[in-house]
Structure formats: C-alpha cells, structure tokens
A and B are shown apart, each in its own frame.
Chain A
C-alpha cells in the first residue's frame, strides 16, 4: 500500500468519524451473527446461542475502543478536549489572560511587523515575468564609497561585451513641466530610457507601442509613452491619445503609446522618452547620470554575470586608469534603483529579525512565571490525574495545549495589531513619496504577506512551549508524590529561588531601562510637537529648478556658464513678479529651508587649530539679503545684510546667538573672523571660498526653534543673490489666503515666465516641518511609550504572582496561627515586607544598572533633571509593585482559620 493510501486512511478515520464508527459496528455485528449461527448449528436454542455468543465475544464497546486505539489517533481527540479546557482556563483567570495575551501580542506584533516590512520593502519580489532574473548594475567608486553614475561609456561597453546579461538598458530620471493646453501645468517625473528597457519588463502596451531603437536616433521625432493613470487623469482617457502632441518643458513630444494600469517600470515612472546620448560626445565619467539594469540571459547565472563584469571592469581600469582605477562594477538587486539601502548584507537583516524574535522569548518567560504560579494552585488536580493513570507526557501535553490557546489568542491579536501598523506605515510612505513620484511598483500594499502568518505561528508555538512546557515539567517533577499526600493544601511546591530571582531580575531590568526610555520618549514628544517659532503657516516653500540638458564634453563649460547666467536672470525676474502679485506679501529665498541647513567645520581666528576629533561644526545658510526681515528674526547686534554685500568677493556673515555662546564663548562677536576648514577630509561648502576669512557683521536671534534633540544650533549666514547658486529655494509669504491655495498660482507665474522653470516640492512651510522629521519623532515616541507600558504591566504582574503564590502557599500556616490567637495583620505584614524587600532589592539593582547604562551612553542623563528621573522611576516601580501586592495581601487577610483546618482534614 502506498503512502498516499495510508494517509488517506488516517484522514478518513479522522474526518469521517461517524462513517468509520458505523462500519466498525457493522463488522463486529457480522462476526457476532456468524458466531450465533455457529452456536445454533452446534445445537443450542436461538436464545442460548445468542447469549453464548455474547459471552464469547466479550464487551463490544471495549473492542471498539481497542480498535480505535489501533488507529492511533486517540491522542487527537484528547487534544481537542485539552483545547476546550484551555479556553475555559482563559475565562476563569481573566487577569492572567489579559496580561499574558497583551504582553505576548505586543511582542508578536513587533516581530511580525518587522518581518513584514523586511519582506515587503527590503527584499521584495518583482511582480514581473521571471522577476528574479531582472537585475541592476552599478559602478562602485571604492574611494568615495558611492556609485558613479556618469558611466555612459561603460554602459555601451557592457551592452556589447557582457554576454550573460541581455537587454542591458539605461535610464535617468528627469523632471519636466507637463503642459496640457487648457489644463494645469505640473512638473512630472520622466524616465529617459533606452528602448530595450521596455523589453526587460516584458509588458505589452495598452495602446499604441512602446519605444524602439529608431526613436533614439538623433533627429528622430521626439516621442513619449505615457502611463495609464496619466492618460485617465490628465487626458481624460482620450481614445485618440496616440498621435497627440504634448509639451514637456520647452519641447513638444508625440504620444506613441499608453502602458497598462499599474505599470511604473523602472521604479515609479509614468512618462518615458528615449535616451539620446551619444558616448562619442562625452569624455569618460562625464555626461548624463544614468542607472543601468538588465535581464539575465537564459541559462546564465548571477555568478557568471558578476565574474564577467568584474573582468570587463578590470580591463577598462587597465585601459584608462585615471578615470577607472577605483571603479568596481557589480551586480546589485533591482530594488537598489529606488532605495540606495544596501541590502546585500542580508545576514544582518536576519540577525535583527532574530533579536526581535527574542523579544517574544523575554515576554514568554514572564508569562511562564505567572502560569507557574497559577499551576501551583492546581497541584491537587494534577496529582489526581497522575494517580488515575495519566503519564507525565499526557499532563505536560494538557498544559501545553492550554498555553497554546493563550499563545494563539495572543497571535491573533498580535497579527491584527501588526496589520494595522503596517498599513498605516504604508499610507505614511505613500504620503512621503508622493512629491517624488510615489512608491515604486514593487512596493505593493499587500497587507501582511502570507509568510508573516507562518512566522507568527512559529512564534506562537515557541511562546506556548515556554509558557506551557517549562512550568509543566517543573510541576510534574519528583515532588508529585508529596503533592498527593498533602492534597488538602499546605507546603507542597516551592516558588523556587530561580523563579523569585527571575522576577526580581525582571524588576531590575525594567527599572534600568525605564529612565532612558522615558527620557527619549519625552524628548521625541517635545520635539515632535515643537513649534518652529515663527509664522511658518503663512509661507509657501518651493525649490526652483530649471530644465538642464547634457552638453557634450567640449561644450560643457560654455553651457554651464550660460545656464548659470540664465538661471540668475530668471530667478531675479521671478522674485519681482511674485512680489508684484496681490496674493503675495513678501518673498525671500535661500539655499536651505530654515532648520534644514547643512553643517560644516569651521575655524575661528586667533584660536589654535584643532585636531579633527574636536572640530567645531556649525550650520551654514546662504540667504537673501531680506531673509531676516521676511521671517521677522530680530537683530541683536551689528547690522543686517544689504545689497552691497553681494558679489563674489563677499565676506560679511551674520551669526546667531547660539553661535556666539558656543563657538565664541560669549562676548563681542562683531569683527571676529571665521573660515571653513578645508583639508583632506572636508571641503568648503559650495558658494564659499576655501581659505577665505569671513567677518561677522551682525548677530541675530536663534531661528528657527530646535526641532530635534541634540542637534547643532549654531548658525552662520552668507548673503546670496537671486539665482546665484542652483537650485535655490523660495519662501513666499502669502496674504489673503492660505499658502496651499497659492500653490497653483505660483506654478502659473513660474512657467509663464519660462516653461523650463519648475517649482519643486511646493508645500506650506509648516507642513514641511510637521510631516517630515517631526512625524517620525512622534511615531517613535508612541512606540516607546507602548513598550514602557508593557514592561510596567509585566513587572506588576510578576510581583502580583510572587505575592499571590506566597500567600497561597502559606494559607494553612496563616490560618493556624490566626486560630491560635496571632494577629493576622502581623503575619501578613511579615509576608508583605518580605515581598517588598525583594522588590526594593530589584529597584536598587535596577537604579545601579541604569546609572551604568547612562555612563556608557555618555552620562548626559544624570545632569540636571536626569537625577530626578531616576528617583521618579524608582518611586513609580515601588508604587506599582506595592499596588500589585495589595490584592493577594487582602486575600490573605480574609483567610478563615476554620476553612483552612477543615480542608486539611
């Protein structure tokens, strides 16, 4: 008989129980009838025959039971009974259920959430035909530790020589204004891509065709392929879209095709134009910045492709060492095209996943202590079962089943929680990436992937093993015999030193971790809701971009000069036109939005030069002459910028108050000279001269308010002319309406001036703050608070269990002593004080650990309010512990001596 048949047989006994029973019935009855007939033939009367047959046959039920045993599945029905019992246990002990389920649910949710995020976002599968064979290539610069993108020459070489990879394609993302006649003007992201890119994806167009090699020729008709959503939303699903002309920036393109819904290859693109770049026009490592991808040829492996690529790379490096000596071409996962996060170190991901899973182990151990304490009250039941013939395995299996019910409930709650969090995260990311083209096509919101459920099941079983099996093994140990003797209650089980130590250790860890967590959560909260300190809600911010081409190497210098001049001209005109608009109150511009300036190391005149370790870093801003006026920043000393300060030879700078205090140590700042450090490691920021001394001519108030803890708040400002550096950011203070309402008007004015101008990341300034870093801080704060609450809850539960166990264990003693006249309060106080003593030990050890941790982390917690925080946490833990111990203590007070003595008899 094949295995399949045997499995089918087993399944049948399991699932078609009634039918199998009926057949067994019939089979045994047949045998009985034959025996009766035999007896009649032997000469007995029918009645006698039947009676004799019955005796010979024996008890039918017993036979049936034995047959059922032979099927080998009785343990299954026993298990289902255990599960029902487990469910009843959950209801009977709601406290333990609540604590256990909540605690484990949080741990499972964290594990599942992390797992789902890893699967969906870090290593997602590509939803393309044979998606595993689609890969990306990059040229890694070993010196700068960054990929080199201007590799047009390499791309052409690879396309010809790299055999294991077919349809090698290149693309670069550019932004252009989409000008639809009669419609609004909006900047869109366009993929300038080689035609082979479409063949890599293997998705046929919905209408018309996609790009072909002929479109890439110089002089060919400019064409464009658009995506389904764009076709519907911007062109109203025009059935005659193919052949229509649309304007992208200053050029006109003919639509040749529409791609199907959901198609956004290579990452999140909805417009495709041919990449026309002739390598002969550029020197090596010049030209457009491109990203390269392709599909593994049939039969080729990744290793083969990488090996050949490395060989080609070495040949190129030997042929032109000045440009290629430090370049290492390599194959990377396709998803690297969107997120630069290096995921090749997947073992790190697994390591973090393991650590997160350990969280459940910690929680489970906690819950195991509680379950152990509860199991102690069931010693009698267990002893009786054991006497009736239950093996140790049986009893452990029963307790495991109960724990599995608990863990199962926690798994369900944990999965729900994780699902909610993950989908919120997805929504968050959709919002965050919307201004940059949205999410890539391989980041689908599939909720929780199926593998997450499997992972959670694994966690639940692990939790059940820890919670059920370990206490069960302890309970059914050698002391079983003594339990049976002292069935009426008494001093059977010990909450051994191990368990007590565990609870104390847990209290200590909670106290150790709490101060830092509370402090961090508090800081996150503080900065997460911090106000910028000025009227950010009146401003609309935008970055001003202008369409750039890729000049050939010979024309590059002239082109860049012309571009810079044109940009200055446009920017200045734009500011004028905006100021003239009735909806605008004031306009200013800067290189970085207030609060988002970069930092660089500086030197102060008259100071000895410092080593790199103690370099001073300040934030530097390049701002309009009227910057401080527009933002209402008060001047504290000296003067503001004026137009005379502009020009390449500009040396005046203005600093803020924190700069004076931290960098200059207070005192007079006017006249002091500062310059940027430019040695091997650092270069002077763009727009500043290396080695140039800048003179402080004014001091302003700190602007804006700090929006994260521990950041550099000393600032230095340079004057900037409109369009002097690219790209410049604008801040428009509106009047008579909200900034959001002005956004479309801003685009109108800008593109009306020049369709090659693109306002980018247009948003009200207050939203830029609250929805950027601050949003992350807020989420972080809530997450930490949740963890803190869980830790406190578990600690309280542990102490409750400890106390409750002690009281139960010593019931008889308390009862007898009370009956003999002792004051029950005094007895209880002695028990209580012992528990409090253990609690205090835990708290003290915890504070010690916390101080140690703080020392390791830099010791900045103990200054100032930090010390108070330690005391607060200690007090909090003591209070929680005392509250937890009160319940069992009151129960102890209510012990009736007569009851206890009766039970003993």
Chain B
C-alpha cells in the first residue's frame, strides 16, 4: 500500500530546501520537483508553503537569490546556499538527527 502524499511539516521544509540546494542553485519549481523525486513521491511540497519558506530563508540570509534563465529558456529566480546557510544546515541536521534518534529509541523501547 502506498502512503498518500503528505504535506511536509513546517520547519522540516526549511531543512529540506537547504539540503536540496547543497548540490547546485535551483529555482522554486526545481526544488519542489527534486524533493518529490528524492522522497520517492512521498513528500509533495505544497506550493503555498514553498514560496513563503524560500522568501523567509532569503530574509534570514541563509539563501541568496538571483534571476537567471531556466533549462527551457524562461526567466526564473534561482536560489543558492550562502555560507551562513551552510552553517545553519549543519546545525539543523544535527538537531534533526538527535530528534528522530530519540523518537526511534522511544518507539523501539516500548
């Protein structure tokens, strides 16, 4: 039975965006496609949450934006990770590991 696609939790969305951008700069559409791909269609990012998240991350200085040309010659806004963003990503990853590890322990222990 395939799991229905679920909305990504707020907060983890930031983490996913940052991780996606470690490989290369991407536009919003590309990010949502990549997340969907990598999660094997489990995580489908709600566009309503994606763009506010992107702009929020930009305001915080964790990602930077630049207008460029997409693969099909359209004008698109590309986002890339900033040095601050890289640092924050490491921190977020560490706390995510800690969190999920703890949950796993509890579930296995019971």
Seen from chain A, the residues whose Cβ lies within 8 Å of a Cβ on chain B are: 1, 5-6, 9-10, 23, 26-28, 30-31, 33-35, 37, 56-58, 62-63, 66-67, 69-72
Q: How far is the CA of A6 from the CA of B85 in the complex (A)?
A: 13
Q: How far is the CA of A66 from the CA of B50 in the complex (A)?
A: 10
- Chain B residues contacting A71 (CB-CB under 8 Å) are 55, 59
Which residue of the partner chain, among A27, A33, A62, contacts B77 with CB atoms under 8 Å?
Answer: A27
Q: How far is the CA of A58 from the CA of B67 in the complex (A)?
A: 24
Q: Min CB distance, A763 to chain B, in Å?
A: 71
Q: How far is the CA of A34 from the CA of B75 in the complex (A)?
A: 12
Q: Min CB distance, A15 to chain B, in Å?
A: 16
With A1-B82, A1-B84, A10-B59 known to touch, is A27 a contact of B52 (CB < 8 Å)? no
Q: How far is the CA of A5 from the CA of B47 in the complex (A)?
A: 27
With A23-B77, A30-B76, A71-B55 known to touch, is A62 a contact of B61 (CB < 8 Å)? no
Interface string of B36-55 (1 = CB under 8 A from A): 00000000001110011101
Complex contact A27–B28 (CB within 8 A): yes
Q: How far is the CA of A165 from the CA of B47 in the complex (A)?
A: 73
Complex contact A1–B61 (CB within 8 A): yes
Complex contact B64–A1 (CB within 8 A): yes
Q: A6-B59, A37-B72, A58-B46 are in contact. List 18 more A-B contacts (CB 8 A).
A: A1-B62, A1-B84, A23-B67, A26-B75, A26-B77, A27-B27, A27-B51, A27-B77, A30-B27, A30-B70, A30-B75, A31-B47, A62-B48, A66-B51, A66-B52, A67-B55, A69-B52, A71-B55
- Chain A residues contacting B98 (CB-CB under 8 Å) are none
Complex contact A57–B47 (CB within 8 A): yes
Which residue of the partner chain, among A26, A62, A63, A70, contacts B59 with CB atoms under 8 Å?
Answer: A70
- Chain A residues contacting B59 (CB-CB under 8 Å) are 6, 9-10, 70-72
B104 on interface, CB distance cutoff 8 Å: no
Q: Min CB distance, B64 to chain A, in Å?
A: 6
Q: Min CB distance, A70 to chain B, in Å?
A: 4
Complex contact A6–B74 (CB within 8 A): no
Name which of B27, B29, B53, B70 has the most chain A CB atoms within 10 A of its CB: B29
Across the interface, name the chain B residue whose C-beta is closest to A2: B61
Q: How far is the CA of A902 from the CA of B76 in the complex (A)?
A: 61
- Chain B residues contacting A72 (CB-CB under 8 Å) are 59
- Chain B residues contacting A6 (CB-CB under 8 Å) are 59-61
- Chain B residues contacting A27 (CB-CB under 8 Å) are 27-28, 51, 76-77
21 pairs, A vs B, C-beta closer than 8 Å: A1-B61, A1-B62, A1-B64, A10-B59, A23-B67, A23-B77, A26-B77, A27-B51, A27-B77, A30-B75, A31-B29, A31-B51, A33-B74, A57-B47, A58-B47, A58-B48, A63-B47, A63-B51, A67-B52, A70-B53, A70-B56
Q: How far is the CA of A23 from the CA of B75 in the complex (A)?
A: 10
- Chain A residues contacting B52 (CB-CB under 8 Å) are 63, 66-67, 69-70
Q: How far is the CA of A61 from the CA of B78 in the complex (A)?
A: 22
Q: How far is the CA of A56 from the CA of B33 in the complex (A)?
A: 14
- Chain B residues contacting A34 (CB-CB under 8 Å) are 29
Q: Label chain A's interface by main secondary structure.
A: helix
- Chain A residues contacting B72 (CB-CB under 8 Å) are 37
- Chain A residues contacting B92 (CB-CB under 8 Å) are none
Interface size on B, residues (CB 8 A): 27
Q: How far is the CA of A6 from the CA of B58 in the complex (A)?
A: 9
- Chain B residues contacting A62 (CB-CB under 8 Å) are 48
- Chain A residues contacting B70 (CB-CB under 8 Å) are 30
Complex contact A66–B61 (CB within 8 A): no
Name which of B27, B32, B46, B48 has the most chain A CB atoms within 10 A of its CB: B48
A-B residue pairs, 7 tightest by C-beta: A1-B61, A70-B56, A34-B29, A66-B52, A70-B55, A70-B52, A27-B77
Q: Min CB distance, B43 to chain A, in Å?
A: 15
- Chain B residues contacting A37 (CB-CB under 8 Å) are 72
Across the interface, name the chain B residue whose C-beta is closest to A56: B47
Across the interface, name the chain A residue whose C-beta is closest to B28: A31
Complex contact B29–A28 (CB within 8 A): no
- Chain B residues contacting A26 (CB-CB under 8 Å) are 75, 77
Which residue of the partner chain, among A9, A10, A35, A67, contacts B29 with CB atoms under 8 Å?
Answer: A35
- Chain A residues contacting B61 (CB-CB under 8 Å) are 1, 5-6
Q: Min CB distance, B10 to chain A, in Å?
A: 12
- Chain A residues contacting B56 (CB-CB under 8 Å) are 70
Q: Min CB distance, A1 to chain B, in Å?
A: 4
Across the interface, name the chain B residue whose C-beta is closest to A57: B47
Q: How far is the CA of A478 from the CA of B70 in the complex (A)?
A: 56
Q: Min CB distance, A179 to chain B, in Å?
A: 77
Across the interface, name the chain A residue whose C-beta is closest to B53: A70
Which residue of the partner chain, among A23, A30, A63, contacts B48 with CB atoms under 8 Å?
Answer: A63
- Chain A residues contacting B28 (CB-CB under 8 Å) are 27, 30-31
- Chain B residues contacting A23 (CB-CB under 8 Å) are 67, 77
Q: How far is the CA of A56 from the CA of B36 in the complex (A)?
A: 14
- Chain B residues contacting A70 (CB-CB under 8 Å) are 52-53, 55-56, 59
With A1-B82, A57-B47 known to touch, is A30 a contact of B55 (CB < 8 Å)? no
Q: How far is the CA of A23 from the CA of B77 in the complex (A)?
A: 9
Complex contact B51–A30 (CB within 8 A): no
- Chain B residues contacting A28 (CB-CB under 8 Å) are 51
- Chain A residues contacting B76 (CB-CB under 8 Å) are 27, 30
Name which of B55, B59, B61, B67 has the most chain A CB atoms within 10 A of its CB: B55
Across the interface, name the chain B residue whose C-beta is closest to A37: B72
Across the interface, name the chain B residue whose C-beta is closest to A62: B48
Q: How far is the CA of A30 from the CA of B76 in the complex (A)?
A: 7
- Chain A residues contacting B53 (CB-CB under 8 Å) are 70
Q: How far is the CA of A9 from the CA of B48 in the complex (A)?
A: 22
Interface string of B67-93 (1 = CB under 8 A from A): 100101011110000101000000000
Q: Min CB distance, A630 to chain B, in Å?
A: 88
Q: How far is the CA of A335 from the CA of B28 in the complex (A)?
A: 67
Which residue of the partner chain, among A5, A35, A56, A67, contacts B51 with CB atoms under 8 Å?
Answer: A67
- Chain A residues contacting B62 (CB-CB under 8 Å) are 1
Q: Min CB distance, B29 to chain A, in Å?
A: 4
Q: Min CB distance, B4 to chain A, in Å?
A: 15
Q: How far is the CA of A6 from the CA of B62 in the complex (A)?
A: 10
Q: How far is the CA of A23 from the CA of B55 in the complex (A)?
A: 12
Which residue of the partner chain, among B29, B48, B67, B74, contacts A66 with CB atoms under 8 Å?
Answer: B48
Across the interface, name the chain B residue whose C-beta is closest to A33: B74
Q: How far is the CA of A249 from the CA of B101 in the complex (A)?
A: 102
- Chain B residues contacting A10 (CB-CB under 8 Å) are 59
Q: Min CB distance, B59 to chain A, in Å?
A: 6
Q: How far is the CA of A610 from the CA of B104 in the complex (A)?
A: 102
